[in-house]
């Protein structure tokens, strides 16, 4: 199945890059700054583009996991 690896491996690379970009685009507050007296913003719900980006990152994670398992099982 050498032809299959030329499809699956680039797919995994593209999904991984898209997942990295989607995660880096998500901006959530100040991080550990709120622990040490910084601003403590509370985020109750995601709306608009932030929600779409969050759901997109979940879909990409599932696709990456499935493609990696597929490659592990079917490509030797």
The residue extents of the domains of the chain are 1-26+57-76
Give the C-alpha separation, 27 to 12, whole Å: 25
What predicted TM-score, i.e. pTM, was given to this entire model?
0.75
Q: What is the pLDDT of residue 12?
A: 97
- For the record, the structure tokens of 68 come out as 């990696």
Q: Which two tokens stand for residue 48?
A: 């608009």
Smallest CA-to-CA distance from 26 within 63, 57, 64 is with: 57
52/15 Cα distance (integer angstroms): 17
pLDDT higher than 50, residue 30: no
Choice between 17 and 3, residue whose per-residue pLDDT is larger: 17
Residue in 16, 21, 26 with CA at minimum distance from that of residue 48: 26
pLDDT, tens only, 56-66: 999 999 999 99
Q: Does 37 have pLDDT greater than 70?
A: no
């Amino acid at each position: 199945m050498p032809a299959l690896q030329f499809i699956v491996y680039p797919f995994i690379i593209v999904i991984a890059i898209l997942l990295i970009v989607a995660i880096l685009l998500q901006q959530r507050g100040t991080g550990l700054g709120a622990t040490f007296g910084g601003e403590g913003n509370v985020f109750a719900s995601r709306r608009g583009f932030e929600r779409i980006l969050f759901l997109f990152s979940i879909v990409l994670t599932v696709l990456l996991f499935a493609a990696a398992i597929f490659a592990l099982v079917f490509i030797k």
